[in-house]
Amino acid sequence: MNPILEVKNLSVVYESSGFNALQAVDHVSFALEAGEFVGLVGESGSGKSTLGLAITRLQKSPARTNGGEIFFRGKDIRELDAETLRQQRQGGFAMVLQSGMNALNPVRTIRNHFIDIFRAHGHVGKSGWDARQIDLMEKVGLPKETLARFPGELSGGMRQRVSIALALSLEPQLMVFDEPTTALDVLVQQAIMDTIKSLQKSEGFTAVLVSHDLGVVLESTQRVLVMHEGRIVEDAPSRDILENPQDEYTRMLLSHYADPRAEVVELPGFPDRARRDTGAAARTSGATARDGRSSDSAIVVDHVSKVYPPPRRGEQAVTAVDDVSFTLEPGQSLALVGASGSGKSTIAKLITGIEKPTAGTVTFGQLDVAQLGRRQIRELHKNVQMIFQDPYSALNPLHTVEYTLTRPVVNFGGLRGPAARKRVLELLETVGLAPVEQFAAKLPHQLSGGQRQRVVIARALASNPQVLIADEPVSMLDVSLRAGVLALLEDLREQWGVSMLYITHDLLSARLVTDNIMVLNGGRVVERGNTAQVLQHPEDEYTIRLLDAVPNPARARGAAV
């Protein structure tokens, strides 16, 4: 049987003036059989998206193919002229983009998007347009009324479904999905992946799923190509990858997956909590021992609600947080989990005084957070610090690491000159950025994502706080970097005795670094308790759905057996 797509020694280079050329894809060869569902996995910068764009001839300047051949149904598509290529897109290869949310023209209705495609290729007679559109919308699970809508009126998940329906309307033999669920909410991600899987089966197209998440890929595909630094390091059936990975890099990626429901959960450098000799009591005493802080500086959230005014006139007010109560004891670590819109980030804002609650009170020790003046807010921030989600946005691109860290040291520690610098270097040491003096002099763009996040953590520690609020601290990092940052947080908590509110949608990381857990849905607490307990024996249906959404290669093994 002839392969539908055959890539031979393909290389793609990025060339822009003033920068060094970057060989993003480096002599890559592989072939796809018709009807296969293949995953293309790699971390950021591995060249997987570049490869995805190259095989659909969508790459744009400054990317350029500088070697190799791409045969689609036996023809080298690199040779095609613009018009043949355009015609090829119907009944040939189609692409669903990474940011499907923005892939639709904001001033055209969904119906017009379909009509544009039908007009361009003429493969559907005008009389068949309506029936065809309705049929396609049904296939991706959307009501036909959606056709009359503008993209701006749809949610992110719906827009991604529309993109899939549009690509499907081309009747492609090969579909490339480039990170189709990355920007979406956890639960939506899973639903979209399910749709893609069932469509691939029913329509019978060959599919390539480009993703950074080996878990997701192993769950859905039959064969996986693992990409690392522009090369394919492993190409094997999913089951073999899972059970018998050959390449070291693949093994490393795999080792970072675990089932949060399991009895024992371990990651590299991260032994299971139960096996560590660190009971909650020990940590609490550690905290008091440190500098005689009394335990009354707990954070107490008491029947707190937050209602935002309606986004537009005539719409309903938004209740972000609905009657939530909890106490974060000194030295404790508490996970706040939920999908986006569950109110977990709003709670962080209420605790840090950025927003004021509509009802109820938040207190830190003796301080009523909602009543604080400017000076007291400063005092609060000295003790309650924040770790941000996006390390690329949390550091000012123009300031050196040293400047960024010096500011809280000067403002809160009252240190000046050499003393301040000494403290900055200590902080860098603490978060494991050595050699410290070199890192102190660097600008954010000279650091990797993981290093940036360490700087963010160092900044949060600078004021010697009692509480850390970590808002999805690892969700923007590559899988292989997450464990390191989580382990750092865990170590700091134990050594420094700080308490931590860990906000996440990722139950695996919650299992690793927290003692207790609260599950939020629509601003309400639906389940709470000991983290290991709750995750092993979830009671609420929402918790179960969140658990099901955790990508888990092991489950793929179960399915395959």
Q: Which of 420, 457, 461, 498 binds other proteins (CB under 8 A)?
A: 420
Q: DSSP letter at 357?
A: -
The answer to the question of residue 198 lying near other proteins (CB under 8 A) is no
Find the shortest distance in angstroms from Cβ 181 to other proteins: 16
**Which of the residues 461 through 490 are near other proteins (CB under 8 A)?**
462-463
Nearer to other proteins by C-beta: 233 or 410? 410
Pick the stretch among 28-36, 264-272, 404-412, 538-546 that binds other proteins (CB under 8 A): 404-412
Query: Smallest gap, in angstroms, from Cβ of residue 152 to other proteins?
Result: 5
Backbone CA torsion sign across 167, 173, 177, 180: positive
In angstroms, give the least distance from the CB of 210 to other proteins.
Answer: 14
Q: Which is nearer to other proteins, 257 or 412 (CB)?
A: 412
Closest CB to other proteins among residues 61, 244 = 61
Paired tokens of 539: 């009671």
Nearer to other proteins, 118 or 270 (CB): 118
Near other proteins in 483-542, by CB under 8 A: none
Q: Give 3-state DSSP helix, strand, coil % of the chain, rounded to 5.
A: 45, 25, 35
At 76, the amino acid letter reads D
Q: How far apart are the first and last CA of the chain?
A: 27
Q: Tell me the C-alpha distance between 543 and 525, whole Å.
A: 11
Question: Min. distance of Cβ 312 from other proteins in angstroms?
Answer: 7
By CB under 8 A, residue 65 contacts other proteins: no
Residues 365-394 close enough to bind other proteins by CB under 8 A: 378, 381-382, 385-386, 388-390, 393-394
Binding-site member from 14, 364, 412, 439 for other proteins (CB under 8 A): 412
Cα separations in angstroms, 281 against 353, 409, 470: 29, 30, 22
Distances from the Cα of 148 to the Cα of 133, 161, 170, 282, 537, angstroms: 11, 15, 20, 61, 44
CB 229, CB 42: distance < 8 Å? no
Minimal distance in Å, beta carbon 182 to other proteins? 13
Please list every residue from 133 through 162 that binds other proteins, using CB under 8 A. 150, 152-153
Distances (CA, A) of 251 to 137, 241, 255: 40, 9, 6
The neighbour count for residue 169, using CB atoms within 10 Å, is: 22
Nearest approach, Cβ of 105 to other proteins (angstroms)? Answer: 5
From the CB of 403, what's the least distance to other proteins, in Å? 6
Interface with other proteins (CB under 8 A), residue from 62, 204, 268, 279: 62
CB 191, min distance to other proteins, A: 21
Helices 449-461, 479-496: axis angle to 10 degrees equals 20
Within 123-230, strands assigned E span 174-178, 206-211, 223-228
**Residue 93 or 502: which CB sits closer to other proteins?**
93
Please state the closest distance from residue 446 (CB atom) to other proteins, in A.
9
Give whichever of 344 and 511 is closer to other proteins, judged by the CB atom: 344
Contact 164, 96 (CB under 8 A): yes
**H or E stretch including 483?**
helix 479-496
Residue 16 binds to other proteins (criterion: CB under 8 A): yes
- Distance (Å, rounded) from C-alpha 144 to C-alpha 142? 6
In order of 117, 273, 392, 439, the CA distances from 381 in angstroms are 55, 29, 22, 25
SS (H, E, C) 41-93: ECCCCCCHHHHHHHHCCCCCCCEEECCCEEEECCEEHHHCCHHHHHHHCCCCE
Interface residue with other proteins among 211, 333, 345, 352 (CB under 8 A) is 352
Shortest Å distance, C-beta 56 to other proteins = 6
Residues 430-459 contacting other proteins, CB under 8 A? 437, 440-443, 456, 459
CA 51, CA 463: separation in Å to the nearest integer? Answer: 45
- Least distance to other proteins, CB of residue 505, Å: 18
* Shortest Å, Cβ 397 to other proteins: 7
The reply on whether position 170 binds other proteins by CB under 8 A is yes
How far is residue 346's CA from residue 357's CA, in Å, rounded to a whole number?
10
Q: Which of 70, 110, 137, 167 binds other proteins (CB under 8 A)?
A: 167
Q: What string marks each residue from 87 to 116 as x (binds other proteins by CB under 8 A) or -?
A: xxxx---xx-x-x--xxxxxxx-------x
Minimum CB distance to other proteins smaller for 263 or for 315: 315
3 state DSSP class of 322: strand
- Position 82 contacts other proteins (CB under 8 A): yes
Does residue 203 touch other proteins according to CB under 8 A? no
For other proteins, which is the closer residue by CB, 320 or 456?
456
Q: Least distance to other proteins from the beta carbon of 85, Å?
A: 8
Q: Which of 136, 207, 460, 481 binds other proteins (CB under 8 A)?
A: 460
Tokens for 444?
């954010």
Q: Tell me the C-alpha distance between 324 and 307, whole Å.
A: 13
Q: Which is nearer to other proteins, 71 or 150 (CB)?
A: 150
Among the listed residues 481, 426, 490, 420, the one whose alpha carbon sits nearest the alpha carbon of residue 453: 481
Instruction: With CB under 8 A as the rule, give the number of residues binding other proteins.
Output: 82
Q: Which of residues 245-304 bind other proteins (CB under 8 A)?
A: none
Tell whether residue 200 is a contact of other proteins (CB under 8 A): no
171-183 burial, b at 16+ Cβ within 10 Å, e below that, comes to ebbbbbbbbbbeb
